């Protein structure tokens, strides 16, 4: 049974910004990015503990073919995965996630 995905508003903003950047820089590139993020999110939902720990509370998953990471936490009792950030690997995650 899959975990429910819940997005923090900052993660939604990260995703929108990245999607728009790719849309502006190549025909169909935004759609490709969206597809790879969706694939990664489905894998996270199915097996959230399969990905690397970052600090004590967070995990990270790489988006294939794009230099992005998805930072998330698991709420086991509620069977939820909270997506905190979707960010470019050449950037640091938002300040509140740096000190994990």
pLDDT tens-digit series, residues 67-84: 999 999 999 999 999 999
Q: Which residue has the tokens 């950047």?
A: 21
Residue 100 pLDDT: 44
pLDDT band at 85 (very low <50, low <70, confident <90, very high): very high
Classify 71 as helix, strand or coil.
strand
Q: Is the pLDDT confidence value at 99 over 60?
A: no
pLDDT band at 90 (very low <50, low <70, confident <90, very high): confident
Query: What is the mean predicted confidence (pLDDT) over 13-42?
Result: 96
CATH fold for domain 4-91: YaeB-like fold (3.30.2310)
Q: Which residue has the tokens 């690397």?
A: 52
What number of other Cβ atoms are within 10 A of residue 3's Cβ?
20
pLDDT band at 35 (very low <50, low <70, confident <90, very high): very high
65 or 55: whose pLDDT is higher? 65
Q: Is the pLDDT confidence value at 4 over 90?
A: yes
Note whether 72 and 83 are within 8 A (CB): yes
Give 45's contacts (C-beta < 8 A, 6+ positions apart). 2, 3, 4, 5, 81
């Amino acid at each position: 049974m899959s975990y429910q995905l819940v997005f923090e508003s900052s993660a939604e903003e990260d995703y929108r910004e990245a999607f728009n950047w790719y849309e502006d820089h190549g025909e169909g590139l935004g759609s490709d990015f969206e597809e790879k993020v969706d694939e990664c999110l489905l894998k996270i939902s199915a097996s959230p503990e399969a990905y690397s720990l970052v600090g004590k509370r967070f995990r990270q998953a790489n988006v294939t073919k794009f230099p992005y990471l998805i930072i998330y936490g698991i709420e086991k009792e509620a069977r939820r995965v909270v997506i905190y950030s979707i960010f470019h690997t050449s950037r640091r995650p938002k300040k509140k996630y740096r000190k994990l």
